[in-house]
Structure 1
Amino acid sequence: MAINRRHFLGWLTATPVILANFASQASAAAEPLYASASQGQDGQYYLHLFNLQAGELMRHPLPERAHQIATHPEYPWLFAVARRPGQFLDVIDYQQQKRVKQIRCDADSQLCGHAQISTDGQWLLTTEQSMHSEFGEIVVRAIDQDFNIVARLSTYGIGPHELRIGTDQQTLIIANGGIQTDGRVKLNIDSMDPSLAYVDMHTGECLEQVRLASKFHQSGIRHIDLSASGQVIMAMQYEGHPADRVPLFASHRRGQPIQPLALPDEVHSQLQQYGGSACFDASGNYAAVSAPRGNLITLWDMQTGQFIKALPVQDGCGLAKTHQAAEFLVSNGLGRLYRLNAQTLQRQLISESTHFSVHWDNHLANLAVS
């Protein structure tokens, strides 16, 4: 999401109540903005907006725990999506610091934690699971029609989670976890069927669908990211035996099979079969995949598919690219933020993050100031 610099500066000038001691810094406008869901020390759930020089810019209360924060390409809006199996999605105007709309999905459906906004800003797309449908759905809402539902597209798989809009701006890329659930209870571990699906966002046609080898059918594909060249990186969560040696991370390009990303045995054994967020850097040549249960962030050369290193971050899960190639911002459940670099292999604690007094949720969004 690109934010007009003039509008951003005007916002800072017009709203001194948003921690003016930070916002008055002239350098703040040059830094990207980041957003994340969180839980405060008071137990309340929040949507946070901040940058690394100005610090915290907004802390907006949410009705329940959120998972992903999506951004709008034109409006100063953030979309806080409920954690699965929640049913709310709050649209927040971060300039006005107020809620624009609270969307509730149908009573017989649940949100799956993720959303995207079409590149023209017209459509809100959410992954949802209805109790009346075998497959998950992409529910399409018209933003300029008070978020009314205008289409429901099949995800061609059970338990959809994260989605991306393809580089052609016409294709939806969907991570189907393959797990049937009742609330958060998993019902079909023995017959899981995870997949990565490419769906035409206008016709709903399945253009391509790929799976890992059948012996890895309990590796649920949960989180993905997409590079400018069309490469997908995916993080998986394995539901089989804790000692099994299975892929947890993989990459994909259209027309090719999924390529598992190989980890050294000593790293794989620490991850507890759980991949968190996946993120490409600004260049698209490097990627980071978090492993919060293993307290590690894995770094990858995506041109070769080679593992670079795993850097320790306790309960680190949220990932976002910065404006620097090979650099990532990491958030953790202890309320800390770190810079990680896939070239220098350095890890730097962001000292300002020690003042936030929150527990960051699983995902981090970058709102680049243009």
Structure 2
Amino acid sequence: MATRRAFLAGLASGLSAASLPRVSWAEVGSPAFLAAGKLGDDFVLHGLSAAGDSLFEIGLPARGHAAAAHPSQALAVAFARRPGTFALVLDCLTGVTRHRLTPPEGRQFNGHGAFSMDGSLLMTSEVVAEGSAGRIGLWETAAFTRIAEWDSHGIGPHDIRRLADGRIVVANGGIETDPGDRTKLNVDVMRPNLSLLSPEGALLDQVELEDALHQNSIRHLALLGDGVAFAMQWEGDPFEPVAQLGLWVPGAAPVLCPPPDDQAYAMKGYAGSIAVSSASDLIALTSAPAGVVMLFNGAGQWLATDQRADVSGAAAVGDDLRLTDGQGGVWGYGHAGLMPLSRNATLWDNHLIALA
């Protein structure tokens, strides 16, 4: 199995000559976000300004989920809704699909990915189709060739985030799914975890939730200081109140952040997206099934619950938060509540991806 060190050496010796033209994000209007959605019968990916205005729109072959933005070049990787078998490398200036990534036989993309700090490597969350064992696929970005894979050290990895020092946090959701219809196969025995990997893929740390919460699937991540805030989806008794927000600093135990008792069921046990303001003082947690978004402070203390039908995407821009909904709305969010910014004909899907 090739290592990232070996890859970088090979890249320096010649692969860089195959690099794509280095068009910057400024040349496509300096978008703040990427967002997938549905426009009529078509599926698309948009680049959005901080105010929610569309700066570019690129067609997708099927429903998208999340995306990954190259740190400097105007390249976006759009991931299929899981279980997916395509990820498109899109030139955001021309709208051209530069590459269509396909996982190896017996693998499926799982909706998310992240670039390395220098943009030379793309990491994709994947599962072995039979059994849902987790993998992180590695793709060099000179020609977007697959060079290796890492063990995600769990079942059903979903979101992955790169910390400032290059380490990787993986949200292993713990759910084994049927590779065809997404039927959940192991809910009674599922064991989600958070895994911390070195920049070379070695397992550095791993935490699970307490036994009573083993059905709280860890799905999505947002950077928070030296660690992450994480969003969960409860697969257990729907009448049991369970927190959907947690905080984790590697080296310590995870901390769950329940809302007050009168808000315990407001999210219907489902958190779809999570975002943390750049000042790390506000956390937004969305639930499309419940039509609510919750606001917490950076310590995980509940501040407010606000209602918005089909609210799902969440991201930060500067010290502010932005939300998207399935009716085409883009919203500002914070202590003042929901503030309408724009409405698009595109009906936004699950996630809003910040470029910064």
Give the TM-score of the pair, scaled to structure 1: 0.86
Q: How does 1:1-370 map to 2 (within 5 A)?
A: 11=28, 32-41=31-40, 43-52=41-50, 55-131=53-129, 135-144=133-142, 146-169=143-166, 171-183=167-179, 184-202=182-200, 204-227=201-224, 229-302=225-298, 304-323=299-318, 325=319, 327-341=320-334, 344-350=335-341, 352-353=342-343, 356-368=344-356
Shift of residue 113 of structure 1? Answer: 0.3
The answer to whether the 8 A contact 2:25-2:72 is kept is no
Indicate how the Cα distance of structure 1 residues 53 and 264 shifts in structure 2: closer, same or farther if over 3 A, else same.
closer
Shift of residue 11 of structure 1? Answer: 4.8
Shift of residue 132 of structure 1? Answer: 5.9
Uncovered stretches (5+) of structure 1, i.e. residues with no partner: 1-5, 13-28
- Richer in helix (by share): 1
CA distance in 2, matches of 1:69, 1:90: 9
In structure 1, the residue matched to 2:18 is none
Structure 2: which amino acid aligns with 1:301? Answer: N
In structure 2, the residue matched to 1:23 is none
CA distance in 2, matches of 1:309, 1:224: 20
**1:220-244 per-position Cα deviation (integer Å, ceiling 9, x unaligned):** 00001112x2131111011111101
Structure 2: which amino acid aligns with 1:200? Answer: S
Structure 2: which amino acid aligns with 1:73? Answer: P
CA distance in 1, matches of 2:24, 2:197: 35
CA distance in 2, matches of 1:109, 1:7: 32
**1:258-312 per-position Cα deviation (integer Å, ceiling 9, x unaligned):** 100021122221211101111110211221111211211111111x321111121
Structure 2: which amino acid aligns with 1:348? Answer: M
CA distance in 2, matches of 1:114, 1:336: 23
Give the TM-score of the pair, scaled to structure 2: 0.89
CA distance in 2, matches of 1:139, 1:201: 13
Shift of residue 205 of structure 1? Answer: 2.0
Percent identity over the alignment is 29
Structure 1: which amino acid aligns with 2:331? Answer: Y
CA distance in 2, matches of 1:267, 1:179: 26
**1:154-194 per-position Cα deviation (integer Å, ceiling 9, x unaligned):** 1110000000012211x110000000011311100100010
CA distance in 1, matches of 2:195, 2:52: 40
In structure 2, the residue matched to 1:18 is none
Indicate how the Cα distance of structure 1 residues 9 and 279 shifts in structure 2: closer, same or farther if over 3 A, else same.
closer
Q: Secondary structure at the match of 2:262?
A: helix
CA distance in 1, matches of 2:271, 2:287: 5
Structure 1 segments of 4 or more deviating over 4 A?
6-12
The answer to whether the 8 A contact 2:32-2:317 is kept is no
Q: Which moved more, 1:184-193 or 1:286-295?
A: 286-295
Supply the RMSD in Å over aligned alpha carbons. Answer: 1.8
CA distance in 2, matches of 1:8, 1:230: 27
Structure 2: which amino acid aligns with 1:57? Answer: L
Indicate how the Cα distance of structure 1 residues 346 and 100 shifts in structure 2: closer, same or farther if over 3 A, else same.
same
Shift of residue 347 of structure 1? Answer: 1.5
The answer to whether the 8 A contact 2:292-2:306 is kept is yes
CA distance in 1, matches of 2:52, 2:306: 26
The answer to whether the 8 A contact 2:171-2:194 is kept is yes
Shift of residue 133 of structure 1? Answer: 6.7
Structure 1: which amino acid aligns with 2:39? Answer: G
Indicate how the Cα distance of structure 1 residues 250 and 11 shifts in structure 2: closer, same or farther if over 3 A, else same.
closer
**1:108-150 per-position Cα deviation (integer Å, ceiling 9, x unaligned):** 1111100001011100100000136763000101111x22221
Indicate how the Cα distance of structure 1 residues 106 and 8 shifts in structure 2: closer, same or farther if over 3 A, else same.
closer
